[in-house]
């Protein structure tokens, strides 16, 4: 079966991370898992027969939405009493990742909890990537430290 679909067995990391790391302009992530929509690129939900392309700005926003709402299927609680509607309201008007980060950090009002949830929710895009490093860079940016750069959409990312 593996040879039929040109699949690869991955050891030492979650399959989600392997897909995130290997996503390119020439690949399509085929999954019913909405978590993977935090990875930019092409996605295909084979159960709903739906194809969509997620840009960097939407991918980052999807991640911060999950930080707020959590993920019950993965036993990640997010922030109590915040569902998708409240999360959208919290992120309303945010244009850059820094603004998304600041809004979510304020909603958490507990960096330890935010870091823990961010680390388990983040799907890596590079080997050995840790969301805690991104958190620290965004804190630095917030206090006037180094710039993370900007995409054309205005979303900074490392």
Q: Is the pLDDT of residue 6 over 60?
A: yes
| Cα distances (angstroms) measured from residue 30 to each of 23, 57, 127 | 11, 20, 21
DSSP secondary-structure letter at 157?
-
| Residue 153: CB atoms within 10 Å | 13
pTM score, whole prediction: 0.86
The answer to whether the beta carbons of residues 47 and 32 sit under 8 Å apart is: yes
Give the pLDDT confidence of 49-98 residue by residue, as tens digits. Answer: 999 999 999 999 999 999 999 988 888 989 999 999 999 999 999 999 99
The answer to whether the beta carbons of residues 138 and 122 sit under 8 Å apart is: no
CA triple 152-154-158, angle to 5 deg = 90
At 143 the pLDDT is 80
DSSP secondary-structure letter at 122?
P
Query: How far is residue 138's CA from residue 157's CA, in Å, rounded to a whole number?
Result: 9
Q: What is the chain's percent helix, strand, coil content, to nearest 5?
A: 45, 10, 45
**Cα torsion at 101, 40, 21, 5 (round to 10°)?**
150
Query: How far is residue 125's CA from residue 37's CA, in Å, rounded to a whole number?
Result: 12
Q: Is the pLDDT of residue 155 over 60?
A: no
Q: Is the pLDDT of residue 5 over 80?
A: no
Question: How would residue 145 be classed by pLDDT, with cut points 50, 70 and 90?
Answer: low
Across the range 119-129, mean pLDDT stands at: 94
At 154 the pLDDT is 43
Question: How would residue 109 be classed by pLDDT, with cut points 50, 70 and 90?
Answer: very high
Question: How would residue 153 be classed by pLDDT, with cut points 50, 70 and 90?
Answer: very low
Q: What is the SS3 assignment for 30? A: strand
């Amino acid at each position: 079966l593996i040879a039929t679909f040109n699949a690869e067995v991955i050891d030492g990391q979650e399959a989600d991370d392997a897909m995130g790391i290997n996503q390119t302009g020439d690949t399509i992530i085929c999954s019913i898992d909405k978590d993977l929509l935090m990875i930019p690129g092409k996605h295909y939900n084979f159960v709903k027969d739906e194809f969509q392309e997620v840009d960097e700005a939407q991918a980052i926003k999807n991640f911060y939405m999950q930080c707020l709402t959590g993920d019950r299927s993965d036993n990640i609680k997010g922030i109590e009493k915040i569902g998708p509607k409240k999360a959208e309201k919290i992120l309303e008007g945010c244009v850059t990742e820094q603004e998304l980060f600041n809004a979510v950090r304020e909603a958490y009002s507990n960096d330890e909890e935010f870091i823990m949830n961010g680390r388990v929710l983040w799907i890596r895009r590079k080997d050995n990537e840790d969301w805690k490093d991104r958190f620290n860079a965004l804190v630095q940016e917030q206090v006037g430290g180094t710039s993370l750069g900007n995409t054309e959409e205005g979303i900074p990312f490392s």
